[in-house]
Amino acid sequence: MKKLCTAVLFSAIIAFLPLSGQAEGWQPKDPIKLQIGFGAGGSTDIMGRLVAAKIEENTGWNIVVENKPGGGGIAMLSSLVRQKPDGLTLGLGVSTPVYLNLANRGDKLPFNIDSFDYLATILRGEIAMVAKADAPFNTLEELLAYAKEKKGGIAIAFDAKPQQMVLAPVARKADVKFKYVKHKSGAEQIQSILGGHVDVGCLAGGHVKYIESGDLKMIASMSRDRQACAPEAKTLIENGFNLYLEPYFYIAAPKGLPVEVKTALATAFDEAINSESVKKALMDSMHATARNLGPQGTHETLTQGAKDIKILVDEAKSLE
């Protein structure tokens, strides 16, 4: 009987112990809603669900993922800004669409960069100028020289407006002509590049496996730094153009989270994002490296990014 009582007491104690890796301090009393500003099945949705599942595994919390597409995440953020800062409603957004909307119609939006508390970034999209492996140029310098020889200019594929906005100043400064060809996706760009329909494309992640296979080559990194898949390719900045494009996938919350709530959530996201299983899944599915800047780093990065895109937008408007 004594042994039975001891076993029951031990089981009761174990039941109340926190799960391994569980964030200490604040614990949610209700399910946490993670609202994703894009539709189901896309890359943003995939990474959001990966991280949410890992947090549940680590902490025992219940996280309900909701898709709220519209305006590149603007609809979701417009709703999120009105929620209670209790840690139970969070949002997963992408920085670049937000930057553009704030630059073009910020006075019509119910939020700005400072309207939220930030918990983490999941990864940074690495964008690159790429060409077919047998293209007659290997670097941006050689590409620009090639473009000068072409009276009609060269064809540049893109699938997002910021890509064109970053390359337009490059063409003006180098005094060459870029003919921009809009595509629906990175996959469509790759088909055009391999088919010889365009000279160069601007790809965000989809280029990695084609560079590794030898079908494509990187002409320049459009990120702040060089990329692991082609470390020899210089950045735009290294080539003398003070330009970059870095979309970050980040977690935001309504502004005013209590310190203990923000700390617990930030810890939970950090542990999940930096877990080996999530890092491997992101690399396998998106050819992307997990990168968490933390609450302060996320806020600082988004603030600077919004300022830089505003400069590009204003410059583009002045040339219209």
- Asked if residue 103 and residue 133 are part of one domain, the reply reads no
Note whether residue 10 is domain-resident.
no
- Asked if residue 59 and residue 160 are part of one domain, the reply reads no
Note whether residue 225 is domain-resident.
yes
Our CA dihedral for 165, 171, 172, 176, rounded to 10 degrees, sits at -150
Per-position b or e across 86-117, b if 16+ CB within 10 A of its CB: bbbbbbbbbbbbbbbbbbeeeeebebebeebb
Report the side by side order of strands in the sheet with 178-182.
178-182, 154-158, 200-204, 127-132, 216-221
Looking at this protein, which amino acid is placed at residue 148?
K
- Asked if residue 218 and residue 73 are part of one domain, the reply reads no
Note whether residue 15 is domain-resident.
no
- Rounded distance, CA 133 to CA 194, Å? 9
Inter-axis angle of helices 276-286 and 43-59, to 10 degrees?
A: 170
- Rounded distance, CA 226 to CA 203, Å? 14
Nearest Cα to Cα of residue 246 among 137, 143, 95, 91: 95
pTM above 0.75, yes or no: yes
Note whether residue 232 is domain-resident.
yes
Domain range for residue 210?
Answer: 127-245
- Asked if residue 132 and residue 103 are part of one domain, the reply reads no
- Asked if residue 231 and residue 280 are part of one domain, the reply reads no
Using the 3D structure, point to which of 218, 245, 272 is the last residue of a domain.
245
pLDDT of residue 270: 98
- Asked if residue 86 and residue 29 are part of one domain, the reply reads yes
pLDDT of residue 319: 65
**pLDDT string in tens for the chain (320-residue length):** 444 444 444 444 434 444 444 445 899 999 999 999 999 988 899 999 999 999 999 999 999 999 999 988 999 999 999 999 999 999 999 999 999 999 989 999 999 999 999 999 999 988 999 999 999 999 999 999 999 999 889 999 998 888 888 899 999 999 999 999 999 888 899 999 999 999 999 988 788 889 999 999 999 999 989 998 899 999 999 999 988 888 999 999 999 999 999 999 999 999 999 999 999 999 888 778 899 999 999 999 999 999 999 988 887 777 65
Using the 3D structure, point to which of 199, 227, 245 is the last residue of a domain.
245
Number of domains in the chain: 2
Q: How far is CA 133 from CA 54, 141, 216, in A?
A: 39, 17, 5
Note whether residue 13 is domain-resident.
no
Query: Around 238, how many Cα atoms within 13 Å sit in the side-chain half-sphere?
Result: 16
Angle at 288 between CA 283 and CA 291, to 5 degrees: 110
Q: Coil, helix or strand for 292?
A: coil
pLDDT of residue 2: 45
Note whether residue 220 is domain-resident.
yes
- Asked if residue 212 and residue 254 are part of one domain, the reply reads no
- Rounded distance, CA 273 to CA 245, Å? 22
CA 263 to chain centroid: 22
Nearest Cα to Cα of residue 283 among 55, 92, 122: 122
Nearest Cα to Cα of residue 127 among 263, 243, 7, 298: 243
pLDDT of residue 208: 87
- Asked if residue 252 and residue 161 are part of one domain, the reply reads no
Strands 248-254 and 89-94: antiparallel
pLDDT of residue 24: 57
Note whether residue 4 is domain-resident.
no
